């Protein structure tokens, strides 16, 4: 009974994490619509994450923490640029100008983009003759097709929320053209911001693979990265907007969103994902990312009355299918690698005793000859 519970724990944890990420996206869109500055939100969120994660890293990794050199600090500073401050700014801009559901579809593309960026650096290999290699290529192509559909085809709206509007028909008809032009322009900016955020976040995974080898303390490195990211966001915000009033939080929803996004979205969720990677591996953990989009849609559409378009649905389906094909190929590759290592270990064990037996036979034969001579 206990073993069954332990087996299902990673599933329950990942579902809870995905629900938390979906709630973060909804809260982000809500506070951004109220006019909160993107960089102010990022600064507060990363500051809360630093305060929350730093004690965990100190007590959990104090016995096996390596020396923090200047080179590692430079890596973490660059990691904060592509993984925290700039990336979150692009994603927040994309969420504001599109929707939480649409932004989650771009987040689902991160594993595929990371896989394609890792190929030139030798971090990933593709064997075209093997099933796993062909699956990874096919999954990447399908996911790219879904991304192009998300970007180039919006499609007709699937829901009618006209009964929630209190605008008179005359006023509504006089503002249709202006609202349509403004919405199309914002949607384009949002798509570009999400695409840039996806590229930057994928670059962070490439950089993180190098950092993890030199400084394998994930909690401490995340706390330092969040600290650098908070400073970067604050500096950029001060340069772009000199109005100090934007730093004043207005309303309970902004305070709740910052605390939740910092402590849960950048704190407990990271701890839970790290635990799942340790228990089941990165492929298992990444396979749950499409659930964020589904859960965001479950909240986004009925609660916030966010519109859902045909292009978003079709593109999201292609992205999810491509992602799972890629993950299936990656899982098959890991299984083949484990089988190969086991076979090599067995062959090594079979070959090791033979020289020892031969040496023992020679030794016994020499002893017998000596005793006979004497």
| Chunked mean pLDDT (size 10), the chain, 374 residues | 66 84 82 84 90 88 85 90 84 79 72 77 75 82 77 73 48 42 73 88 79 80 88 89 86 89 81 70 63 70 69 79 79 78 78 54 48 50
The Cα diameter of the chain in Å comes to 123
pLDDT of residue 231: 94
DSSP, res 244: G
Q: Could you give phi then psi for residue 165, rounded to 5 degrees?
A: -90, 140
Answer for the pair 43, 269: CB distance below 8 angstroms, yes or no. no
For residue 317 the two structure tokens come to 């389906």
pLDDT of residue 101: 65
Nearest to 296 by CA among 16, 92, 26, 11: 26
CA distances from 223 to 51, 79, 81, 195 (A): 8, 12, 14, 26
Q: Is 122 left (phi over 0), alpha (psi -120 to 50) or beta?
A: left
Taking the domains of the chain in order of start, what are their residue ranges?
Answer: 2-328
Task: Give me the residues paired with residue 309 across strands.
Answer: 157
DSSP, res 309: B
Answer for the pair 111, 299: CB distance below 8 angstroms, yes or no. no
Sequence-distant (≥ 6) Cβ neighbours of residue 108 within 8 angstroms: 289, 290, 292, 293, 316, 319, 320, 323
**Rg of the Cα atoms in the chain:** 27
Q: Tell me the torsion sign for CA atoms 295, 300, 301, 304.
A: positive
**What is the C-alpha to C-alpha distance for residues 265 and 106, in angstroms, rounded to an integer?**
18
Q: What is the pTM of this model?
A: 0.69
Nearest to 20 by CA among 260, 239, 367: 260
Q: List pLDDT tens digits, range 121-141.
A: 776 777 777 888 888 788 878
pLDDT of residue 175: 38
Tally helices (H) and strands (E) across the chain: 16, 0
Residues in the chain: 374
Q: List pLDDT tens digits, range 301-357.
A: 666 666 677 877 787 788 778 877 877 887 787 777 777 788 777 777 777 655 554
Answer for the pair 61, 136: CB distance below 8 angstroms, yes or no. no
Answer for the pair 170, 367: CB distance below 8 angstroms, yes or no. no
**DSSP readout, 7-69?**
HHHHHHHHHHHHHHHHHHHHHHHHHHHTT--HHHHHHHHHHHHHHHHHHHHHHHSSSS-----
Nearest to 88 by CA among 116, 53, 54, 47: 47
Answer for the pair 41, 92: CB distance below 8 angstroms, yes or no. yes
Number of neighbours of residue 62 by Cβ within 10 angstroms: 10
Answer for the pair 270, 222: CB distance below 8 angstroms, yes or no. yes
pLDDT of residue 265: 83
CA distances from 309 to 190, 280, 356 (A): 15, 35, 72
**What is the C-alpha to C-alpha distance for residues 167 and 173, in angstroms, rounded to an integer?**
10
């Amino acid at each position: 009974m206990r073993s069954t519970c332990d087996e299902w724990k990673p599933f329950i944890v990942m579902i809870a994490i995905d629900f938390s990420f979906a709630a973060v996206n909804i809260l982000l869109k809500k506070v951004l619509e109220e006019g909160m500055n993107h960089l102010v939100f990022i600064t507060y969120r990363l500051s809360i994450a630093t305060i929350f994660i730093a004690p965990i890293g100190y007590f959990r990794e104090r016995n096996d923490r390596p020396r923090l050199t200047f080179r590692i600090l430079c890596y973490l500073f660059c990691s904060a640029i592509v993984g925290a401050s700039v990336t979150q700014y692009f994603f927040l801009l994309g969420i504001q100008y599109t929707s939480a559901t649409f932004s989650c579809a771009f987040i689902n593309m991160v594993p595929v983009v990371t896989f394609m960026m890792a190929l030139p650096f030798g971090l990933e290999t593709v064997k075209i003759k093997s099933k796993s290699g062909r699956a990874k290529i096919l999954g990447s192509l399908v996911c790219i097709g879904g991304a192009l559909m998300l970007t180039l085809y919006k499609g007709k709206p699937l829901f009618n929320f006209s009964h929630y509007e209190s605008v008179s028909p005359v006023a509504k008809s006089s503002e249709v053209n202006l609202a349509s032009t403004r919405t199309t322009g914002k949607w384009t900016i949002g798509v570009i911001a999400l695409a840039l955020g996806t590229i930057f976040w994928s670059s962070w995974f490439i950089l993180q693979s190098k950092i993890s080898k030199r400084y394998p303390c994930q909690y401490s490195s995340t706390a330092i990265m969040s600290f650098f990211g908070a400073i970067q966001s604050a500096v950029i915000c001060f340069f772009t907007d000199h109005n100090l009033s934007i730093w004043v939080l207005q309303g309970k929803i902004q305070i709740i969103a910052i605390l939740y996004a910092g402590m849960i979205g950048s704190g407990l969720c990271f701890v839970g994902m790290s635990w799942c990677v340790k228990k089941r591996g990165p492929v298992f953990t990444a396979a749950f990312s499409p659930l964020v989009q589904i859960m965001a849609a479950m909240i986004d559409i009925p609660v916030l009355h966010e519109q859902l378009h045909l292009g978003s649905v079709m593109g999201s389906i292609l992205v999810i299918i491509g992602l799972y094909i890629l993950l299936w190929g990656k899982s098959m590759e890991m299984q083949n690698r484990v089988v190969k290592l086991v076979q090599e270990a067995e062959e090594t064990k079979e070959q090791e005793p033979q020289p020892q037996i031969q040496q023992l036979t020679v030794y016994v034969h020499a002893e017998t000859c000596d005793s006979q001579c004497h």
